[in-house]
Chains A and B, each alone.
Chain A
Amino acid sequence: MPSQALTPRTTRNSRGLRTAAAPSSDPFVGSSSRTLSRALEAADPATPTPVSRFAPPAPPRDQVPALGPIPEEQHQPTTPIPVAGPSTLGRPPIFPPPVVLPPATPYPTTPHLTTSFSSPLEHPRLAAIRSTPSSAGRNNAPRTPARRPRFITRFVDATPPTPRAPTPKSPDEEETRLFAQRREQEDEDNFARELWISIRNDGYMRDCWCGPPPIYSSREEAESASGHLRFYVVGSETKNLRVLQKKNDFGWHCVCGNEYHVAYKPFLNANGKRPAEDTEFDLIAQNQDSASGKRSQSIDRVVPAPTEPAPPTPATEEQPQAPGLTLDKSPAPAQSMWSQAYDTITRAVATMGGPLAAIFGKLREQLQVDSYEAVDTRSKDAANNDAITVKRLKRRVPVSPTAPVPSNEEDDDGFNNLVWTTDPTNRIGFQNIQHLLNAFESQRQHIKAGRIIDGPSIAVIQAQLKDGQDLGTSIAVHKYREHKYGPLPDKMSEDEQADQFLRTLAAYYDRLGNSCNFMVTIYDSDLVSSLQNTHPNPPRRLPLGGSQFRQSAMMVAEFLGFVRSLDAVRPIDTATLETISQMIVDANAVHKQELLPSYVELRGDVTEAMPGYFPEEKVSPIEELPAEEFKVQALYDYRFPGPEPSEAHIRPGDLRLVPEPKGILKPSKEFDAPPSPKYVATPEKKRKLAFVNPVSKFIPPTHIPTQIMSPGQAEKIMRAKFKADLLRDEHSLRMFEAARTVSRNKPMGYFEDQWSLEAVERDDREMGLTHFTQKYNDFFSDLQDDMVKREEKQQENNKTQLNVTPRRRMVRIPLPPLPSTPEMRQRLAHLFEDDTSSPEGSTPGVNPLSRLDAFMRPKVEETPKPAKKPEPATLEEFFAADDDDLEISILKLEQIQIDRQIQDDFVDGVHRLKEEKRRREEEAALREKRRLIEEERRRKEEERRRQEEERRKQEDERRREQAAQQAQEADEEAALTGLRRPSRPLITDLSTEWNHRVTSTARTNPTAELAKTLDGQPLTRRDFEEKLLPPTAWLNDNIIIGSILHVADYINKSKGATDQDPKCAALTSFFWPRFISQGPGACSRIFRRAGLRKGNLLNIDTILIPICDQSHWTLAVVRPGRRAVSHIDSMRAGAGDERVKTKLLELMRFLLEDEFVEADWSAVDYAGPRQTNGWDCGVFTITNAICMALGLNPKFTYTERELTLQRRRLAAMLLNGGFKGDFTLDGF
C-alpha cells in the first residue's frame, strides 16, 4: 500500500481530464496537497511501521509532559484528550509528543466516570444512571450539608401509643414478616441506610415537616426510644446504620400527610419522566410562539422528505461495521445499467489502445464540451476569483428513513476507491499545519504575556498600540468578543467591559489551545496507521475518541470558522485560509463520526500509466465545494449515535426552529418624503420601497433541516423562556433540551454546560433523589398498612381495658433538610419561601397546653441529651474519623442539634404557657365586662320596644276614632248637602277584556271613529291616545262633554225621564264662555236642546256645567231641587269660585224668571278630594259630575290616586257607549 500511495499519480481537474501535477500555487486542494506530501516524503521518506499502530494505553495525564509551548492545564479541562507516550516515529512530529487515538476504545475522561463507560457510543450519563442502583450509586446519594436547622410548630397527637410500655420481646416478635423478608432481600448494611435515605428524600419531596427519623447511637437507646422504625448506629470502628422495627409501636415516622410537591411528581414514574412530557413542551413552545407573535423565528413542521434522494448518488452495500444501522438506497436500475455498460465500454476502449481511443476521446470531447462548460463555470470562476475550495467525502443521503434497504446492489459511489493515506498531513500540507500551529501558539504566548490591548474598535486598538503589544492578536480578540457578545453596547460600565473582555480572552485562549490540541491529535500519522490496522479499507463511519472529544471537534470547527472570518479584517494568506477551510471539514467529519478527507486518498488506477489511457467517469467519493458553502453542523450523537447525518432523523411532524425567511433583495430603508418647496398641510407619509415579488423571497427548503437558528437566538430562547418560566426544574428542562436537539442547532456554549462533568454528576444526584423513594415506596405503604391494621386491633383491645383520652401537645418539628446542592436549593427556593419566616408566626390559636408540663417531662428525658453525650464538636470529630460513614455521622450530629433545639423549644413552650394563662385571665375579665355592657344594652332595647308598641296601640285607637268621626261627619254632611257615601267603590279595576280593548285603541286608524258622543261628535284615536289615556294628558272638550252627557243620559234613563223633561241635564263646555260673553239670552238654543225650561227647571235634580277656564276644568252644578248652586274646583278641594256661583244664580234667575225666589237659593260648597298635580282636573271634573249626579259625596267616593285608573275606565266607558253593561252606575 505504501508503494501505491507513493506512485506518482496524475490528478484530474474537474473536467475529468488528465493534467500534469499542478504547481503548488494552484488553489485546488488536491494538487497542492499532493505537492506538499511529496515534498514531505522527500524530506523524510520513512513511513510509520505497523508496530506504532498499537499505541500503549494512555498513561495518567499527570505523567504526560507538557505539549511543548501549549500549557496542558489550560485546555485540558474542556477537551480532555488522552495523550500517549512518545512514540517512535520516523518523520519529525508536528508537535511533540504525538497522540494516539485508538478509535474504538472509549475515551478516558475522569477517573471516577471511567468505570461506568460501557461503550464509546454511550454517554456517561446513561451509564451512570444505569449503575445507580448498584453500590456505586451510594456516592451519588444526596449529601446533607451542615446547616442551620429550621423548625415548624405543629400539634401532634401525643397520646401514648400504648397505655403500658411494651414489654421487651425477642427481636423475632418485634419485627413483622414483611420487614424481615425485605431486610433479607436487601443487604443488611444497605437496607437501613437506603431506608433512611428513602424516608428523608421522600419527606423532602413532600415538603414534610416531620423531619428525617432520628438516629440513635446504640441499639439500647433505640430500644428505649419510640417509633415504629428506629435507626441506630452500630460498630465502633466502622460505623453502620441499622434499623429496628417495633411491631407494637405505632408511631409512624411521618404524620404530616403532605402530597408530593408538583415538581417531584414526575420523578415518581419508573423512567423519571412525566407522561407526554415531550408533547407538552412542544405544545407550549408552539403556543408561546404563536401567542407572542415573534417575528424573529417560527416553528415549522418538517414536511416529509421528498421521495427522491437529493443528490442522485446511488447507495452502496451494507456496512460491516454497523450492521444494525441500515442505510437506505434507491434501486435506480437504469443508472446501474448505464454504469455497467459504461464500464464495459471504457474497459474495451482502454484495451483497444491508441488510435481508437484518441478518436473516441476527441469525439467525446467534441460532443460533451458544452455540457462540461456549463457544469464547470463555478470552478473556473472560482479559479479566477482565487476562491478557496474544500474537499469532503460525499455523504449518502438515505431515501427515506423507513424504507427497507435492498442489499448488495451493484452500484458504486466510488467509496471503494479510497485508500488510507500514508500521512494525514498530505492533503493540507505539513508546513501549513505547522504554520497555523505556530501562529496559534504565538497568539497564546501573547495573551499569556499580556501583550493584548482592549479597545472599543479596531481603529482605536491600532492607534493605541504600543511597542511590544501584538496587533493581530488584539484584533482577533476584539473580533471574537464581537462574535461572542455582539457589537459593544455604548452604555456599559467599565467594570462590565473589563469583565467581558477578560472572559473573552479566557475563552479565546481556551479555543486556541483546543485547536492546537485538535491538530496535534488528528494530524498524526500514527493514528492513521493504527486505524489502517483496524480497518483495512477506510470505513464510512469512523468514530474517533469519545463524545466529548467529538463535541470539542465541533467547537474547534466553529472557532476555525471564526478565524477564517478574520480574513475580512486582516488579510490572511491563501495557503493558511485553505488550511483552515480544510481543517474545518476535517473537524466536522470528526464531529459526525465520518471519515476524514485528510485520511484518505483516491486509489491510483493502474491503467492510468498505460498509453491511451482515457480517464473514466468514475464516481468520486470526494466532492469539492467552495469553502464558503461548507456549513458546519452539529450532530447530536448522544441522542442519535448513528453515523447518518442528522438530517436522516428528521421525521415528519418534528419541530424545529427556523428563522424568519428573509428576502434576498432587502427592502430599502425608510426615507422621508422629499421636502416640498411649499408648505403642504397633509401629513408626511413614510414611504417604504419593497419588493413584493415572491420571486425575491427566499423560501428555505423544507426537507433539509439545516441552519436553523443563530446561536444567540437559540440560547436566548432556551435559557430565558424555558428555564426561567416553565418549570424552574433543571431535570425537566434538560429533558426538553435533549428532545429539541433533534432538529435544532445548538450554540457552542451550551455544550460546555450540558456535557460537563458537573452536569452529569448533578444528573446522577437527581436520579438518586428519587431512586430510593421509588424503590421503597411500595414497601413503606405495605409496612404502614400493616402497622395501621395492627394499631386498630390494639386500640380495640385497649378500649375494653381502659379508656385513654387522646392528648395533644405542641412540638416544634424540624423542617426537612434543604436541598443538598446549591443548584437544587436555588431551584426549589420557591418551595421554602413561606417556611423560612414562619417558625414563630405559625403558632396556632387554640392551645390545650394545660398538661403539657407534666407530659413533656418524660419525653425530654427520652431524647438524648447533649450533656450526657460527648460534645458535638468531639462527636463530629469522632464520626469524622470514619471516612466511609462521614455522612451518617454528620446526620447524627444534626440530629443531636435538632434534639437540643427541641429542648430549647420546650422551655420556650413553658414560658409561652404561662404567658398564655395570663392572657386568658385578662381576656376573661374583658369578656365579663363586655357581657355586662351587652346586657344593659339589651335591656334598653326591650324597654324601647315596649314603648313603641304602646304608641302603636294608641295610634290605632286614634285612627279608629278618626274613622268614626269621619263617618259621623259624612252623615252630618249628607244631612246637610243631600250627598251620601257610596255603598261600594266607584273606581274599580277593569276586566282583562276591557283593558285589552282600551290598549288596542292605540293600533287603530287615526281617522277611524272609535266612539260617538251623544251629541254626535265622533271620538278618534287622537282623543283617546293623546287626550285621555296618558296619565299626565290634559283632557279635551270631546272627552269631558262626551262623559258628562253619558252621565246625564244614564241618570235620565235610569229614572225614566226624557230628553225634554230630564232629571239630570248636562250642558256642553261651550255654553259657559258664550253665557259669560253674550249673556243668557244668546243661549236659548242651548237651553232648548238641553231641555231647560222655566216649567220643568225646578223638577230637575242636577244640572252639570263643565267649565274650561284658562286651561282648567271645573264643574258648575246646579241642584234646582235643593235650590243650591255650587262650583266644584278640584284645585280648591271642592270649594268654588264665588263669581261662578253668582253667575249661576243669575242664570237661574234668567231661566226661572218670576219663579225665582231669591231667599230659597243659596250657593254651597261641597268638599271633594284635592288635586295636587297639574294634569288631572279633567278627570276630577268628570268624576265629580258622576258623584253629583248620583248624589254621592266626592270626598268619600274617590281619591286622587285612583284617577289614573279612572282614565282607563272613562275610555272604556266611552268605547262602551255610556254607563251601561259593565259600567253601570246602579247600586251606589
Chain B
Amino acid sequence: MADNAENGSPAQPGPDQGQGPTEHLNIKVTDNNNEVFFKIKRSTKLEKLMTAFCERQGKTLASVRFLFEGQRVQPSDTPETLEMQDGDTLEVHQEQVGGC
C-alpha cells in the first residue's frame, strides 16, 4: 500500500490500477447544462466538490441537491462511503419546492 502510494503519482491516476480501489477518482458533476469534472481522493469529503461546484455556478448549497444514482449526497459523504467508482456522475438537481 505504501509502495503504491509512493509510486502512484497524483497527476496520473493510471487506468492500469483500475482493478483495485484507486487513490483518485474522476467525478463528473452535471446539472444537465454544465458538466464539471473533479478529480478527488476516495476519502475526500464531497463537501469540497459540492461547494466548488456551487461557487462556480453561482448557487447556494441550500438550493441544490446532489444526487448519486437517485440518492441524496450529504456533504460529509465520501466516494468511499457511497461506493463511487471512477467516472461516476453526480447529478445536480434544483431544490424541489411545490405548493399548488
In the complex, which residues of chain B have a beta carbon less than 8 angstroms from the beta carbon of A1112?
A: 98-100
User: With A and B bound together, what is the CA distance between A1037 and B71 in angstroms?
Assistant: 13
- The answer to whether the Cβ of A1016 comes within 8 Å of any Cβ in the partner chain is yes
Closest chain-A Cβ to B45's Cβ sits at a distance in Å of: 13
- Output the residue of B70, B74, B100 with the most chain A CB within 10 A: B70
Cβ contacts A432-470/B at 8 Å (1 or 0 each): 000000000000000000000000000000000000000
B65, B69, B100: the one within 8 Å of A1175 (CB):
B100
Binds A, one of B13-21, B33-41, B48-56, B89-97: B89-97
Chain A contacts with B in 1104-1119, Cβ cutoff 8 A: 1108-1109, 1111-1113
Given contacts A1016-B74, A1017-B72, A1085-B71, contact A1111 B62 (CB under 8 A): no
User: With A and B bound together, what is the CA distance between A1074 and B93 in angstroms?
Assistant: 11
A1070 touches B97 (CB 8 A): no
In the complex, which residues of chain A have a beta carbon less than 8 angstroms from the beta carbon of B96?
A: 1036-1037, 1040, 1069-1070, 1108
Closest chain-A Cβ to B2's Cβ sits at a distance in Å of: 33
User: With A and B bound together, what is the CA distance between A86 and B36 in angstroms?
Assistant: 143
A1111 touches B72 (CB 8 A): no
Cβ contacts B59-80/A at 8 Å (1 or 0 each): 0001001010111101000000
A1111 touches B70 (CB 8 A): no
Closest chain-B Cβ to A248's Cβ sits at a distance in Å of: 100
B74, B93, B98: the one within 8 Å of A1017 (CB):
B74
Give chain A's interface residue range (CB within 8 Å of chain B).
35 or more
A1071 touches B70 (CB 8 A): yes
A1035 touches B99 (CB 8 A): yes
A1083 touches B70 (CB 8 A): yes
B74 touches A1034 (CB 8 A): no
- The answer to whether the Cβ of A984 comes within 8 Å of any Cβ in the partner chain is no
User: With A and B bound together, what is the CA distance between A1070 and B65 in angstroms?
Assistant: 9
B interface size (C-beta, 8 A): 15
Closest chain-A Cβ to B33's Cβ sits at a distance in Å of: 15
Cβ contacts A580-593/B at 8 Å (1 or 0 each): 00000000000000
A1020 touches B62 (CB 8 A): yes
Chain A contacts with B in 1076-1101, Cβ cutoff 8 A: 1082-1083, 1085-1086, 1089
Cβ contacts A212-225/B at 8 Å (1 or 0 each): 00000000000000
In the complex, which residues of chain A have a beta carbon less than 8 angstroms from the beta carbon of B67?
A: 1070, 1074
User: With A and B bound together, what is the CA distance between A1173 and B93 in angstroms?
Assistant: 27
B69 touches A1036 (CB 8 A): no
In the complex, which residues of chain A have a beta carbon less than 8 angstroms from the beta carbon of B72?
A: 1015-1017, 1041, 1068, 1070
User: With A and B bound together, what is the CA distance between A1032 and B97 in angstroms?
Assistant: 13
Cβ contacts A340-377/B at 8 Å (1 or 0 each): 00000000000000000000000000000000000000
A1174 touches B99 (CB 8 A): yes
- Residue of B with least CB distance to A1110: B98
A1037 touches B65 (CB 8 A): yes
- Output the residue of A1070, A1108, A1176 with the most chain B CB within 10 A: A1070
- The answer to whether the Cβ of A130 comes within 8 Å of any Cβ in the partner chain is no
Closest chain-A Cβ to B100's Cβ sits at a distance in Å of: 4
In the complex, which residues of chain B have a beta carbon less than 8 angstroms from the beta carbon of A1035?
A: 97-99
- The answer to whether the Cβ of A1143 comes within 8 Å of any Cβ in the partner chain is no
User: With A and B bound together, what is the CA distance between A861 and B70 in angstroms?
Assistant: 124
User: With A and B bound together, what is the CA distance between A1027 and B95 in angstroms?
Assistant: 11
User: With A and B bound together, what is the CA distance between A1111 and B94 in angstroms?
Assistant: 11
B62 touches A1178 (CB 8 A): no
Closest chain-A Cβ to B39's Cβ sits at a distance in Å of: 23
- The answer to whether the Cβ of A1022 comes within 8 Å of any Cβ in the partner chain is yes
A1015, A1041, A1082, A1177: the one within 8 Å of B98 (CB):
A1177
User: With A and B bound together, what is the CA distance between A1112 and B95 in angstroms?
Assistant: 13
- The answer to whether the Cβ of A1066 comes within 8 Å of any Cβ in the partner chain is no
B99 touches A1175 (CB 8 A): yes
A1027, A1033, A1082, A1177: the one within 8 Å of B70 (CB):
A1082
User: With A and B bound together, what is the CA distance between A1015 and B96 in angstroms?
Assistant: 16
User: With A and B bound together, what is the CA distance between A1058 and B71 in angstroms?
Assistant: 20
B95 touches A1034 (CB 8 A): no
In the complex, which residues of chain B have a beta carbon less than 8 angstroms from the beta carbon of A1032?
A: 99
User: With A and B bound together, what is the CA distance between A1070 and B74 in angstroms?
Assistant: 14
- Residue of B with least CB distance to A1112: B98
- Residue of A with least CB distance to B74: A1016
A1086 touches B99 (CB 8 A): no
A1086 touches B69 (CB 8 A): yes
In the complex, which residues of chain B have a beta carbon less than 8 angstroms from the beta carbon of A1111?
A: 97-100
- The answer to whether the Cβ of A635 comes within 8 Å of any Cβ in the partner chain is no
User: With A and B bound together, what is the CA distance between A1041 and B95 in angstroms?
Assistant: 12
User: With A and B bound together, what is the CA distance between A927 and B100 in angstroms?
Assistant: 66
In the complex, which residues of chain A have a beta carbon less than 8 angstroms from the beta carbon of B95?
A: 1036-1037
Given contacts A1034-B97, A1037-B95, A1175-B100, contact A1086 B70 (CB under 8 A): yes
In the complex, which residues of chain A have a beta carbon less than 8 angstroms from the beta carbon of B65?
A: 1037, 1070
- Output the residue of B72, B93, B96 with the most chain A CB within 10 A: B96
- Residue of A with least CB distance to B69: A1085
User: With A and B bound together, what is the CA distance between A1171 and B99 in angstroms?
Assistant: 10
In the complex, which residues of chain B have a beta carbon less than 8 angstroms from the beta carbon of A902?
A: none
A1015, A1022, A1176: the one within 8 Å of B99 (CB):
A1176
Cβ contacts A893-925/B at 8 Å (1 or 0 each): 000000000000000000000000000000000
- The answer to whether the Cβ of A1064 comes within 8 Å of any Cβ in the partner chain is no
In the complex, which residues of chain A have a beta carbon less than 8 angstroms from the beta carbon of B100?
A: 1111-1112, 1131, 1171, 1173-1175, 1177
Given contacts A1020-B62, A1022-B62, A1037-B65, contact A1070 B70 (CB under 8 A): yes
Closest chain-A Cβ to B36's Cβ sits at a distance in Å of: 20
Given contacts A1022-B62, A1037-B65, A1070-B65, contact A1178 B71 (CB under 8 A): no
B62, B71, B74, B98: the one within 8 Å of A1086 (CB):
B71
- Residue of B with least CB distance to A1032: B99
B70 touches A1178 (CB 8 A): no
Chain A contacts with B in 1011-1040, Cβ cutoff 8 A: 1015-1017, 1020, 1022, 1027, 1032-1037, 1040
B99 touches A1070 (CB 8 A): no
In the complex, which residues of chain A have a beta carbon less than 8 angstroms from the beta carbon of B93?
A: 1070, 1073
In the complex, which residues of chain A have a beta carbon less than 8 angstroms from the beta carbon of B97?
A: 1027, 1034-1037, 1108, 1111
Chain A contacts with B in 6-24, Cβ cutoff 8 A: none
B99 touches A1085 (CB 8 A): no
A1108 touches B99 (CB 8 A): no
User: With A and B bound together, what is the CA distance between A1111 and B100 in angstroms?
Assistant: 7
User: With A and B bound together, what is the CA distance between A1027 and B96 in angstroms?
Assistant: 11
User: With A and B bound together, what is the CA distance between A164 and B95 in angstroms?
Assistant: 112
- Residue of B with least CB distance to A1130: B100
- Output the residue of A1032, A1108, A1175 with the most chain B CB within 10 A: A1108
In the complex, which residues of chain B have a beta carbon less than 8 angstroms from the beta carbon of A1027?
A: 97
Closest chain-B Cβ to A441's Cβ sits at a distance in Å of: 115
- Residue of A with least CB distance to B62: A1022
In the complex, which residues of chain A have a beta carbon less than 8 angstroms from the beta carbon of B69?
A: 1082-1083, 1085-1086
Cβ contacts A1177-1189/B at 8 Å (1 or 0 each): 1100000000000
User: With A and B bound together, what is the CA distance between A1017 and B72 in angstroms?
Assistant: 8
- Residue of B with least CB distance to A1106: B96
Closest chain-A Cβ to B44's Cβ sits at a distance in Å of: 18
User: With A and B bound together, what is the CA distance between A275 and B74 in angstroms?
Assistant: 95
User: With A and B bound together, what is the CA distance between A1113 and B74 in angstroms?
Assistant: 23
B71 touches A1034 (CB 8 A): no
- Residue of A with least CB distance to B93: A1070
- Residue of B with least CB distance to A1083: B70
User: With A and B bound together, what is the CA distance between A443 and B52 in angstroms?
Assistant: 119
Cβ contacts A1191-1222/B at 8 Å (1 or 0 each): 00000000000000000000000000000000
What are 5 A-B pairs at a CB distance below 8 A? A1034-B97, A1041-B72, A1068-B70, A1070-B67, A1177-B100
Rank and list the top 10 A-B pairs by shortest CB-CB distance, nearest first: A1034-B99, A1037-B96, A1108-B96, A1174-B100, A1113-B98, A1175-B99, A1085-B69, A1074-B70, A1086-B70, A1111-B98
- Beyond the given A1034-B98, A1035-B98, A1112-B98, please list 7 additional residue pairs across the A-B interface where CB-CB is below 8 A: A1015-B72, A1033-B99, A1035-B97, A1070-B72, A1070-B96, A1086-B70, A1177-B98
